[in-house]
């Protein structure tokens, strides 16, 4: 070994030892914080007595310490991943959270990656150094430093870098080549400049992030959620952040990213999960889902609601006080018109309709008794008796019933007559037949936007609930006044404390604190409240959402503070978007911003070369993102005679190739239902992908729709011709399927390969 090499090795060993020593200091600080927080939580929970104000403050403190412990636990792995050496001589280490030295004027020991001072770690280049002399990327395993990579930001060093301008190229490529685990990992240590600009963009308005396969769209969206919560904590902690994904498997896949970034208060949901009390597990055809997703369904549902507001064809007779009462068409029509003119939702306008009808029926009874002989009190008594009469109540309820979204939608989709009446201007016979199903069928994801729309159209007659709430608030106020009075009279309370409480807390404020008392975070409260509006909404795979689904999300975010992440070239849903303009114009016109991700970090060049031909065959102006690496594995194709017999062996063979990695077997839905169980039966390592936990299996069998947003070490694509011909967006589905792999791609087929796959034919 040369002296120069020995010197370099000695210097490297010294640097590693120094970094290890510093990392040990950071973990000592982390352990001390954990111990201190755990003790404070223990002390808080032990204190169960005291006045109501003290109990409220105890609950708030307990929640705060619990959240802090969760954050400190979540950052254990990879807590520190970088260092900045500045021209000024200062050195800053960068990590998942911020740590400070309280004994030294709160000097930063570790900068949170979201802090403004940490931004040069992601953006500094040789051409724009921003005062950075050297950027160091640390590779750690739990509490041990394994290696580091230095970037000296001078012009000579810049010439040695990637033509894509990658920061920490060796660290990034090592991360990209690592085996997948069934759960998405954060990219906080390897964020690239174009990703950082999107992550740190302002919160106001709609930001659309368009990016091809493997460009890190999902990772950018999740890191953006963490950044916004860090930067705009006060605003967002009250209203929360909603992250919407395409399916439960996807949510399971990304579930650990935000906790690893120190954030635990974000609501992750599908659109189908945004209606409290509804579990949308039903299955329906893609065509039925597309029909339900059309914007015209608003008119269909509006008509269905109006169909519940009936008048007699001539008249209805009902017995009251042993005498017939006549509910005639003209009177009912007049009452209905007045109710509709209020423009209130159905269940609230129902009260107006009934008031008008009871008034008319009261006069009818009065005329029978001799109206001239009755005074105002007599008329009021007749009105009360009419309202209490079951027969009259049933008759009016037949004309204008109170109903729920679930009841109305179930009736609509199970009745040919009701559906035909509501949809005669919007659906043809074949489309109505596609929607009809037995009463009581399980709810599907496409039903949820319809239920949400009906909830808006129907409203909730909360008169009794409001009266009860007002009564409870009066009791709470009286109780709070009593508490303050006791505190003023209690001789054990110091005068200083009594005056402080009196200065800052009156009875109304104390009562408000009682009402606000909750052990739930904003995200948890939002999950239970359909009318909750969020501070910011992030939508992944946004191109898949139907017009009806967009109405749901826009109601959840009236401020229009949104980040929409997707790729219109990957749209697979028939009701999905072709352009971002068509999605957003009804809500914000042209007042939205577009950011693009252009570098493919996931898909190796060998596979992307094949996928680019599929993209070129689509009717789109989008270009394939440029891959940052090659894998050394060329895609292969194998034609077989008996797919069911050949597939288990092909899966077993590919599992041996990826060793500890993850394999996805992607195929058309009908084929998956037919041959999937046989593969799972013969291979214990394989799972059908019916549950989010199946992603932990070495091999998982999925449809292309189920695989959206996911990535695997290897993909075995089965019958690509059937996938391409399976829907109007078959080429989009094929493009998605080809770009799920990080290392290897194989194709198994019995039919001829599509022409767009000629490079692997």
Tell me how far apart the alpha carbons of residues 227 and 258 are, in angstroms, rounded to a whole number: 10
215 is in an annotated binding site: yes
Interval 574-632: pLDDT, tens: 999 999 999 999 999 999 999 999 999 889 999 999 999 999 999 788 889 999 889 99
In the predicted structure, residue 119 carries a pLDDT above the cut 50: yes
* pLDDT confidence tier of residue 426, bands split at 50, 70 and 90: very high
Tell me how far apart the alpha carbons of residues 655 and 663 are, in angstroms, rounded to a whole number: 7
**Average pLDDT value for residue range 266-288:** 93
pLDDT of residue 159: 39
* pLDDT confidence tier of residue 501, bands split at 50, 70 and 90: very low
Three-state secondary-structure class, residue 667: coil
Which stretches does DSSP call E strand in 493-586?
A: 536-539, 562-566
pLDDT of residue 49: 60
pLDDT of residue 507: 56
pLDDT of residue 472: 67
Contact 578, 325 (CB under 8 A): no
* pLDDT confidence tier of residue 497, bands split at 50, 70 and 90: very low
211 is in an annotated binding site: yes
Nearest to 180 by CA among 744, 700, 715, 662: 662
DSSP per-residue string spanning 71-114: HHHHTSTT-EEEEEEETTS-EEEEESS-EEEGGGTTEEEEEETT
Interval 514-569: pLDDT, tens: 544 455 677 888 889 999 999 999 999 999 999 999 999 999 999 999 999 999 99
* pLDDT confidence tier of residue 499, bands split at 50, 70 and 90: very low
217 is in an annotated binding site: yes
Tell me how far apart the alpha carbons of residues 254 and 184 are, in angstroms, rounded to a whole number: 5
pLDDT of residue 120: 92
* pLDDT confidence tier of residue 491, bands split at 50, 70 and 90: low
pLDDT of residue 429: 96
Continuous segment of H or E residues that includes residue 626: strand 626-627
Interval 76-106: pLDDT, tens: 888 999 999 999 999 999 999 999 988 887 8
Maximum mean pLDDT: which of 68-77, 162-171, 268-277:
268-277
Instruction: Name the least confident of 54-68, 91-105, 629-643.
Output: 54-68
Backbone angles phi, psi at 686, to 5 degrees: -105, 150
**Average pLDDT value for residue range 413-428:** 97
Is pLDDT larger for residue 472 or for residue 304? 304
* pLDDT confidence tier of residue 65, bands split at 50, 70 and 90: confident
Interval 713-737: pLDDT, tens: 999 999 999 999 998 899 999 999 9
214 is in an annotated binding site: yes
Nearest to 357 by CA among 371, 337, 377, 381: 337
**Domains, the chain, with CATH or none:** 1-178 (no CATH), 198-275+530-600 (3.40.50.300), 286-440 (no CATH), 605-757 (3.40.50.300)
pLDDT of residue 260: 80
**Average pLDDT value for residue range 473-495:** 58
- Per the DSSP assignment, residues forming a β-bridge with 627 are 600
Tell me how far apart the alpha carbons of residues 483 and 53 are, in angstroms, rounded to a whole number: 9
pLDDT of residue 467: 60
676 is in an annotated binding site: no
Interval 165-182: pLDDT, tens: 566 666 676 666 677 777
* pLDDT confidence tier of residue 258, bands split at 50, 70 and 90: confident
| Rg of the chain on CA atoms, in Å | 32
- In degrees, rounded to 5, the angle at the alpha carbon of residue 662 between the alpha carbons of residues 660 and 665 is 140
216 is in an annotated binding site: yes
pLDDT of residue 500: 42
Angle between helices 346-369 and 447-458 (to 10 degrees): 40
Interval 192-240: pLDDT, tens: 889 999 999 999 999 999 999 999 999 999 999 999 999 998 888 888 9
Burial of 528 (0-12, 13-18, 19+ CB in 10 A): exposed
324 is in an annotated binding site: no
* pLDDT confidence tier of residue 305, bands split at 50, 70 and 90: very high
- Per the DSSP assignment, residues forming a β-bridge with 152 are 134
pLDDT of residue 227: 93
């Amino acid at each position: 070994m040369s002296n120069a090499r020995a010197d370099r090795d000695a210097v490297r060993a010294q640097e590693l030892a120094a970094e290890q020593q510093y990392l040990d200091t950071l973990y000592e600080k982390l352990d001390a914080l954990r111990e201190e927080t755990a003790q404070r939580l223990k002390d808080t929970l032990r204190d169960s007595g005291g006045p109501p104000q003290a109990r409220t403050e105890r609950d708030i403190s307990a929640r705060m310490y619990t959240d802090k412990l969760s954050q400190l636990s979540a950052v254990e792995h990879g807590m520190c991943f970088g260092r900045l050496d500045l021209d000024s001589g200062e050195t800053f280490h960068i990590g998942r959270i911020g740590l400070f030295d309280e004994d030294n004027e709160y000097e930063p020991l570790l900068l949170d990656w979201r802090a403004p001072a940490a931004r040069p770690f992601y953006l500094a280049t040789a051409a724009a150094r921003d005062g950075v002399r050297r950027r160091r990327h640390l590779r750690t395993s739990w509490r041990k430093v394994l290696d580091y990579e230095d970037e000296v930001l001078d012009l000579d060093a810049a010439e040695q870098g990637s033509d894509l301008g990658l920061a920490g190229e060796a660290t990034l490529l090592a991360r990209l080549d690592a085996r997948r685990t069934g759960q998405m990992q954060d990219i906080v240590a390897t964020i690239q400049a174009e990703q950082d600009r999107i992550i740190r963009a302002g919160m106001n308005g709609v930001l659309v992030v368009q990016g091809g396969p493997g460009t890190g769209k999902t990772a950018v969206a999740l890191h953006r959620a963490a950044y916004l919560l860090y930067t705009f904590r006060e605003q967002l902690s009250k209203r929360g952040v909603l992250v919407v994904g395409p399916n439960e498997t996807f949510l399971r896949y990304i579930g650990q990213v935000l906790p690893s970034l120190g954030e635990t208060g974000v609501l992750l949901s599908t659109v189908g999960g945004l209606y409290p009390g509804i579990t949308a597990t039903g299955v329906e055809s893609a065509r039925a889902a597309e029909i339900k997703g059309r914007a015209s369904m608003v008119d269909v549902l509006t008509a269905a609601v109006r169909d519940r507001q009936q008048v007699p064809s001539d008249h209805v007779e009902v017995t009251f006080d042993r005498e017939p009462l006549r509910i005639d068409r003209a009177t009912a029509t007049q009452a209905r018109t007045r109710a509709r003119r209020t423009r209130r939702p159905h269940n609230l306008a129902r009260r107006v309709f009934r008031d008008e009808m009871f008034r008319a029926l009261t006069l009818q009874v009065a005329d029978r008794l001799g109206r001239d002989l009755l005074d105002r009190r007599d008329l009021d008594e007749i009105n009360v008796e009419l309202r209490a009469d079951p027969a009259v109540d049933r008759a009016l309820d037949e004309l204008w019933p109170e109903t729920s979204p679930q009841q109305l939608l179930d009736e609509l989709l199970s009745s040919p007559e009701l559906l035909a009446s509501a949809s005669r201007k919007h659906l043809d016979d074949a489309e109505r037949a596609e929607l009809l199903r037995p009463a009581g069928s399980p709810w599907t994801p496409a039903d949820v936007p319809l239920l949400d729309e009906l909830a808006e159209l129907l409203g909730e007659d909360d008169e009794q609930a409001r009266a009860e709430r007002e009564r409870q608030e009066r009791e709470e106020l009286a109780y709070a006044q009593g508490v303050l009075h006791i505190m003023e009279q209690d001789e054990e309370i110091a005068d200083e404390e009594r005056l402080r409480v009196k200065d800052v807390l009156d009875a109304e404020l104390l009562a408000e604190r009682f009402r606000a008392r909750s052990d739930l975070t904003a995200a948890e409260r939002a999950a239970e409240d359909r009318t909750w509006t969020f501070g910011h909404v992030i939508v992944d795979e946004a191109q898949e959402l139907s017009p009806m689904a967009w109405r749901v999300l826009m109601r959840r975010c009236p401020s229009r503070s949104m980040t929409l992440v997707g790729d219109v070239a990957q749209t697979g849903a028939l009701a999905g978007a072709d352009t971002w303009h068509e999605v957003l114009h009804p809500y914000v016109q042209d007042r939205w911003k577009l950011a693009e991700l252009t570098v493919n970090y996931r898909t190796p060049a060998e596979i992307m070369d094949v996928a680019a031909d599929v993209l070129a065959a689509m009717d789109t102006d989008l270009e394939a993102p440029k891959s940052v690496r090659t894998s050394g594995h060329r895609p292969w194709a194998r034609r077989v005679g008996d797919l069911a017999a050949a597939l288990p062996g092909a899966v077993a063979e590919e599992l041996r190739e990826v060793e500890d990695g993850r394999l996805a077997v992607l195929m058309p839905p009908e084929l998956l239902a037919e041959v999937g169980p046989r593969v799972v039966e013969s291979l214990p390592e394989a799972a059908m992908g019916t549950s989010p936990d199946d992603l932990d299996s070495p091999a998982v069998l999925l449809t292309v729709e189920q695989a959206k947003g996911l990535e695997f070490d290897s993909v075995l694509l089965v019958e690509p011709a059937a996938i391409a011909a399976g829907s109007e967006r078959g080429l989009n589905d094929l493009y998605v399927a080809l770009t799920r792999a990080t290392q290897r791609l194989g194709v198994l087929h019995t039919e001829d390969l599509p022409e767009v796959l000629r490079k692997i034919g």
